[in-house]
Amino acid sequence: MILMEINLRDLALRFVLGGASVALCFILLQILPWKIFAGIFAAFPAVMIAAVVMAGYFGNSELAAEVTLGASAGMMGCTVCVFTAAFCMQHLNRWGLSLSLALGAWFVSSFVFVYLMQHFLAGRRVGKSGRAAP
Amino acid sequence: MTEINLFPLAFRFLLGGSAVVASTLAAKAFGGRIGGVFAAFPAVYLAAILSLGLDYEGSELLSLSEQVSKGALVGMVADIGCALAASSLILKYGWKSGLFRALLVWAVLAPVIYLACFGF
């Protein structure tokens, strides 16, 4: 029951932050003449904030810090995705195809970055437990 | 002054929130490395781009999506800086203050990268 409550709070927080980011991006697109600047809010780290709040609230600061390192790997994959989308839209001039290629680039690059980060975090944990041993 | 209608705004809020929740549920369902990949699904960016498809089409849609993508690219680079800063700031100041300081890093970094790349 407690786990269910945690999940619902987690999902509610993610829903509000994700929805607010897209809504803010929409408002800025309507009122600002600089559309690129408005696009910055399409990358607001809403998911990371929710994950850190949940890890900090129900765990501790060390767990929350580890969550941010995991999130940075995912963000690198998202950067590849967005770069591919911008590049393809500029050069292929096809909206749907550009988004499809961007999603493919996101999946492959995220897999690699997450794999590398998991190995880094596992190595760090082994290093810490090794140092802690008498 | 530009008028912002409530219905399209509420729809985008629902779209963004639902996309993030769906990617979270997918991450939990898959688990392991694939779950880790889906935990960082660019749901907010995709929801923002897909919602443009509701209002624009053709070359206008392409041009606006390209501009939003360039802005999102600036935001994503700032995100990486924010996440890496958060990993040390949280350990130093605790998760609440560390997260707040890391978001300040994002708020400074994103406009600085934007100005460096695109100018005024």
Identify the band that residue A126 occupies on the pLDDT scale cut at 50, 70 and 90. Answer: confident
**Confidence (pLDDT) at A130:** 62
In a 3-state reduction of DSSP, which class is residue A34? Answer: coil
Residue of A nearest to B47 (CA): A22
User: What is the four-CA torsion angle of A103, B58, A89, B9, rounded to 10 degrees?
Assistant: -60
B38 and B90 in a single domain? The answer is no
- Please count the structural domains in chain B: 2
pLDDT tens-digit readout, A40-73: 988 988 888 888 888 888 888 988 888 888 888 8
Could you tell me if B27 and B2 lie in one domain? yes
Judge if B65 and B119 occupy the same domain.
yes
Measured between its terminal Cα atoms, the distance across chain A in Å is: 39
pLDDT at A104: 95
Please indicate whether, in this complex, the C-beta atoms of A110 and B13 are within 8 angstroms of each other.
Answer: no
Tell me, what's the pLDDT at A131?
56
Q: At A73, which amino acid appears?
A: A
Could you tell me if B50 and B72 lie in one domain? no
Q: Which pLDDT score is estimated for A2?
A: 41
State yes or no: pLDDT of A14 exceeds 60: yes
pLDDT tens, residue by residue, A84-99: 999 999 999 999 999 9
Confidence at A133, pLDDT banded by 50, 70, 90: very low
Label residue B56 exposed, middle or buried (CB < 10 Å: 0-12, 13-18, 19+). Answer: middle
Select from B16, B31, B55 the last residue of a domain.
B55
Q: Are residues B65 and B118 in the same domain?
A: yes
pLDDT at B22: 87
Q: What is the pLDDT of residue B98?
A: 96
pLDDT at position B116, please? 93
Note whether A38 contacts B2, CB cutoff 8 Å.
no
Cα(B34)–Cα(A114) distance, rounded to whole angstroms?
A: 9
Query: Is the pLDDT reported for residue A3 higher than 50?
Result: no
Residue B50 sits in the same domain as residue B88: no
Q: Please indicate, yes or no, whether residues B50 and B2 belong to a single structural domain of this protein.
A: yes
CB A118 within 8 Å of CB B36: yes
Q: In terms of domains, do B45 and B79 share one?
A: no
Q: Which residues of chain B have pLDDT under 50?
A: none
Asked if residue A36 lies in contact with residue B70, where contact means CB atoms within 8 angstroms, the answer is yes
Task: Read off the amino acid at residue A119.
Answer: H
State which residue of chain B sits closest to A18, comparing Cα positions: B17
Could you tell me where the beta strands, DSSP code E, fall in chain B? none
pLDDT computed for residue B80 by the predictor: 93
Question: Is residue A23's pLDDT more than 70?
Answer: yes
Note whether B67 and B113 are same-domain residues: yes
User: Whole-angstrom Cα distance, residue A32 to residue A26?
Assistant: 10
Distance separating alpha carbons of residues B55 and A21, to the nearest angstrom: 18
Same domain, B65 and B109: yes
Instruction: For chain A, give the mean pLDDT.
Output: 85
For the full predicted model, state whether its pTM sits above 0.90: no
ipTM of the complex: 0.86
Each residue of A59-85: b (16+ CB within 10 Å) or e?
eebeebbbbbbbbbbbbbbbbbbbbbb
Picking from A11, A25, A106, A128 by the largest number of B CB atoms within 10 A of its own CB, the best residue to mutate is A25
- Both B76 and B107 in one domain: the answer is yes
Residues B40 and B70 in one domain: no
- In the DSSP assignment, the letter for residue A33 is S
State the residue range of the domain holding B47.
1-55
